[in-house]
Amino acid sequence: MKMKSFNKLTMFLLAGTLFLGACKKDDPAPVNEQEVITKVTVNFTNTANSSEVVTFTYEDTDGVGGNAPVINNGILKRNTSYNVSVIVTGEDNEDITAEIAEEKDEHQIYFGFSQSNLFSSFEYSDKDSKNQPVGLASRVTTVNSSGGGDLQLILAHEPNKSLNIASTPWVYDSKIGGEQDFNITFKANIQ
Amino acid sequence: MKNFVFVGFLLLINIYNVLGQCTGSIHGHVYKKKGKVSLANVVAQIPSINLETISNEQGEFLFEGICEGSYFLRVFKDDFDTLWINAKITNKTLHFHQDIFLETPQEALEGIEVLQKKDAPISSQTQYYLSNAELEASRGKTLGEMLKNIAGVNSLNTGGGISKPMIHGLHSQRVLILNNGVRQEGQQWGEEHAPEIDPFASEQVAVIKGAAGVRYGSDAMGGVVVLNPKPLTTSSKLSGKAYLIGHSNGRMGNLAFQMQKAFGKGWAWNFQTSTKKAGDFHTPTYILSNTGMQEFNFSGTLGYTKENWNIQGYFSRFDSEIGILRASHTGNINDLALSISRPQPWYVAPFTYNINNPRQRIVHYLGKINSEIKLDHIGVLSFQYAFQDNSRREYDIRRGGRSNMPALSLVLQSHNLEAVLEHHAWRNFRGSFGINTLYQTNYNVPETGIVPLLPNFTNFTQGIFWVERFIKPKYDLEWGVRYDYRHTQVRTFIQNRTYIKPNYQFNFITGTIGYSYFPNDSFTFKTNIGATFRPPHTAELFSQGLHLGIGNIQEGLLFENGFLNSQKDFSIEQSYKWVASLTYKHKNWTLDVHPYYNIINNFIYLTPTDIRLTIRGTFPVFNYVQDNITMQGIDITSIYKIGKWGWQSKFAYLKAHVQASKDALINMPPLRWENKFFFEQKKWKSLENVEIFATLLHISKQSNAPRVISPTVFENITSEEQTTILAGGNFDFMEAPNGYTILGVGLQASYKNFTFSSRVENATNLVYRDYLNRWRYYANDLGRNYIFQLNYKF
């Protein structure tokens, strides 16, 4: 009797070890990142001449990896009005701009620049459903002197737009919160 | 005269023998229960036929020429409890044998107090038990919070819902949790991954602070948390317990019950379930939005016991959903800088029970079957097979309607097989041999749309061990050795989407040596040195990713400048831990002093190695690196009683640093000193066990913390600044929070089958931050909390 139950136990344990081999998973497939932003393109279109487009690009294909981002800075004309559009792209040229436009209430692109060295005026040209800015489209006027300065763009996800500064809604203030999906800085020259 | 009668009987028996009537025999081997050492000069009697003998030097006695029938044996010796044993002699089983364990009345008493205190796997290490009162009082809390009752044990917290046990500054893959005899296999590597365990399922909670790697393998290098359910009952009456607990902070409710019953011949079952629901916790001044949690767990055992063997099947399911503080979800280091500068989190909403993203959802199954076979003269042979399935899904705030897709989805399946022979004393030697096998697969469920943080892998470990003791009445010597073989295969992709399947093999030996000295009842001294080798976990080798919430990029040991090199050299971690415990009991005073010294060579930890510009902003890069470190500390526990009044004090201090650079290590527990003053009254009117108490917990500021580099410096950092920062070794983004002292008060009483208790934690509603809480960058710690607890026993 004792021996019999012992055998049963051995059988069970053996069954357990057989099971070990049975659950090996297949080789995994590489993941296509759906969400990672790899490239930001900023187009400045002269309002007086729509064929005159100045393009800035910021490309970082490996995300957090060890390759440094590739940055292309443009040269803007002094005392000129531009329509600014921001195009956001993901892996395999995925169009993330459309996603941002679709979730415009939860997104805003904030701009950092000097009003004395870069843009003398800035206004958003797009609005979300609550009449708050989004930032995919905007209009700027460059200062009337050559030189230029840093141009920072921050895409905030789920910011509290109601806390935007009324006079300068493009400035990212710490109270606004949310997460920064991108935070990039160009060197904008003015000639 | 007695001898004469005895000889007479022998003669009589001989006559029977000659006639061929009675050829049965009864043989016993008597051991002292504590220590399982053979006992000589034990009297064995069969009163019904007037036989008597005594055990020899080897502890054995024999009656021969016994006729068929049923006999009651009386086995006794001075200072031990008398035992009655039923022996049956039939024509099938003419020779009856039994191993008999005698215990002293004192041991029997101790056994009642905290179930049966099991022998520590390594006897020269003290097993620190939570007392029944401590266990009951911490019902409803997380395992990590519960274990803080033991000096030297802390928890690394992520808010109020996630807490990881930390023993002498070590945690995660360096501390083993032994849940119902099974090594817990979850995603321990993550600092924000709490153990997937329902504390309500444990009736016995203990911590071994020494290195128990010899018995359990490499992850027991820092210590072991031992959790045991109630043993199966032998009573056929249904019995059980129920709990109803409410916490004001988080408006948390707990409901739990447990019951058990024996049935048939040798069968028994038990069942236990618990549920928890909490909404947003709060600090003294604001709500911690999205910190709710819910849990639903159950477990059950079915067992069958015969005289010489038993078998049990156990099954449990753990299911938990935990909200992560909304404001701690940061996109880059600027977010972190802003969080540190804000007086309160940027996102504070009204209280809710809803759990939104970011959140974690964990389901853990454990099934096991184990059996014990008592082998006469030899010892106890036990087998165990356990299967665990751990599923972890983490949800982030995502774009494009992807918030319902987990950002991390891992399934870890583990099979454990163990066979151990614990042999009875042979001369003065007692010990155990065993083998254990672990096979596990970690699998990323392809539903995330994100490159996994941790790759797929399979892991096979085979260990074999031997622990032996030399036992003398006043001292024990102990030694043990273990050999492990581990094979790990990782399946992942490198930068250009090339598929690689690197293999790693490790062979390592673990050893321990210990000494215990117990000259009298009031003094015990134990000391032990354990050498434990630990190969790196796959996460420590291969993980790469942006750590949301901590604002840094973390990279495994195999990364060089952000690129994976699966051939890169690395070493096995080698830990040498010395522990000693001096326990002194005198009348009303119990004192336990526990110093330790731990050297870990090739210790794997995160340190800043680079500052990297990405499209999300500039990030410091923290790489896993290896250095030799030293950790030393002392734990002291003292309980003093005068009449009905008592004072319990627990003190713990640890100092840790990197040997070469003298740098401090991050997230090491600061000095902790906890005091409890109580008044107990066994009976007051119709109430029993009335207790009123106050607790005072002091945590000092961690003065031995890494230097501080504010996250604001990274935004427009120059290359010279980068070089300076990286040359200075480890840093933290924020200064260690100030020390604090919090007050708690409470009372408790029993009435018939009910026990009621009420407590206030953080009674003064103190605003503080704790160094071991990973949310210290974002928010204050928890405010005042009223707890009401009602238990019912049947």
Helix (H, G, I), strand (E, B) or coil at B16: helix
> B214-259: per-residue pLDDT in tens?
888 888 999 999 999 988 988 899 999 999 999 999 999 999 999 9
Q: Quick one: pLDDT at residue B503?
A: 93
Is residue A17 over pLDDT 70? Answer: no
Least reliable range by pLDDT among B123-137, B148-162, B172-186, B650-664? B123-137
Q: What's the pLDDT band for B630 if we cut at 50, 70, 90?
A: very high
Only one residue has tokens 């019999």, namely: A4
Mean pLDDT of B477-500: 89
Testing the interface with A: which of B307, B416, B614 to mutate, by most A Cβ within 10 A? Answer: B614
From the list A31, A39, A160, which residue is nearest B452 (CB)? A31
Vertex B703 angle, CA B699 and B706, to 5°: 125
A24-38, B51-65, B486-500, B519-533: which has the minimum mean pLDDT? Answer: A24-38
A25: confidence class by pLDDT, cuts 50, 70, 90: low
The stretch B580-594 carries a mean pLDDT of: 93
Q: Is the confidence at residue B29, as pLDDT, over 90? A: no
Contact between B449 and A16 using a beta-carbon 8 Å cutoff = no
| CB B52, CB B2: distance < 8 Å | yes
pLDDT at A5 over 50: no
Go through the domains of chain B in sequence order and give each one's CATH number.
2-104 (2.60.40.1120), 227-293+307-334+372-402+416-793 (2.40.170.20)
Asked if the Cβ–Cβ distance from B544 to A103 is below 8 Å, we say no
pLDDT for residue B15: 46
Return the closest-CA partner of residue B612 out of B553, B655, B555.
B553
Residue type, B471: I
pLDDT at B12: 47
Position B3 scores a pLDDT of: 52
- The dihedral region occupied by A135, where left means phi > 0, alpha psi between -120 and 50, and beta the remainder, is left
What is this model's ipTM?
0.83
The 10 Å Cβ neighbour count of residue B118 is: 15
| pLDDT over 90 at B641, yes or no | yes
pLDDT for position B118: 57
pLDDT tens digit sequence for A112-154: 999 999 999 999 999 999 999 999 999 999 999 998 899 999 9
Owner of token pair 């459309």: A98
Q: Is the pLDDT of residue B130 over 80?
A: yes
User: pLDDT category, A10, cuts 50, 70, 90?
Assistant: low
Please tell me which of the candidates A19, A65, A160 has its beta carbon nearest to residue B495.
A65
Banded pLDDT at B587 (limits 50, 70, 90): confident
Predicted pLDDT of residue B486: 95
* pLDDT above 50 (res B558): yes
pLDDT digits over B103-129, tens only? Answer: 876 655 444 433 455 566 778 888 899
- CB contact residues (below 8 A), chain A span 59-78, against chain B: 59-60, 62-69
CB of A4 within 8 Å of a chain B CB? The answer is no
Confidence grade of residue B35 (pLDDT, cut at 50, 70, 90):
low
Specify the pTM: 0.86
The pLDDT, as a whole number, for residue A4 is: 46
Cβ of A58 under 8 Å from any chain B Cβ?
A: yes
**Among A15, A6, A4, A11, which Cα is nearest to B373's?**
A6
CA B546 to chain centre: 30
In the 3-class helix/strand/coil scheme, how is B632-685 assigned residue by residue? Answer: EEEEEEEEEEECCEEEEEEEEEEEEEECCCCCECCCCCCCEEEEEEEEEEEEEC
Mean pLDDT computed over every residue of chain B: 89
- Position B106 scores a pLDDT of 63
User: Residue B726 in 3-state DSSP?
Assistant: helix
A33 reaches B (C-beta below 8 A): yes
Partner B, chain A 123-182, Cβ-Cβ below 8 Å = 154, 157-158, 160, 174-182
Contact between chains at A58 and B373 (C-beta distance less than 8 A): no
| Angstrom distance (rounded) from CA B163 to CA B175 | 13
| Highest-scoring range by mean pLDDT, B49-63, B67-81, B229-243 | B229-243
For residue B5, pLDDT beyond 80: no
* pLDDT for A22 beyond 50: no
Tell me what the mean pLDDT of segment B174-185 comes to.
Answer: 94
Separation in Å, CA of A30 to nearest CA in chain B: 7
Count other Cβ atoms within 10 Å, centred on residue A15: 10
Question: A–B: how many Cβ contacts below 8 A?
Answer: 161
Interface test with A, best of B615, B623, B722 (most A CBs within 10 A): B615
Over residues A56-72, the mean pLDDT reads 88
Of B331, B383, B545, which has the smallest distance from its Cβ to A157's Cβ?
A: B331
- pLDDT tens digits, B729-779: 888 989 999 999 999 999 999 999 999 999 999 999 999 999 999 889 889
The answer to whether A179 contacts B553, with C-beta atoms less than 8 Å apart, is no
**Region B473-493: what's the mean pLDDT?**
92
Q: Residues of B491-529 as b/e, b for ≥16 C-beta within 10 angstroms?
A: bbbeeeeeeeebebebebebbbbbbbebeeeeebbbbbb
Whole-number pLDDT of residue B113: 39
Nearest Cβ partner for A33 among B334, B383, B449: B449
pLDDT of the residue at B132: 85
CB contacts of A87 in chain B (<8 Å) are none
Q: Has residue B14 got a pLDDT over 70?
A: no
Taking the CA of residue B259 and the nearest CA in chain A, the distance in Å comes to 27
Mean pLDDT, range B409-435, rounded to an integer: 90
Is B402 close to A158, i.e. CB distance below 8 A?
A: no
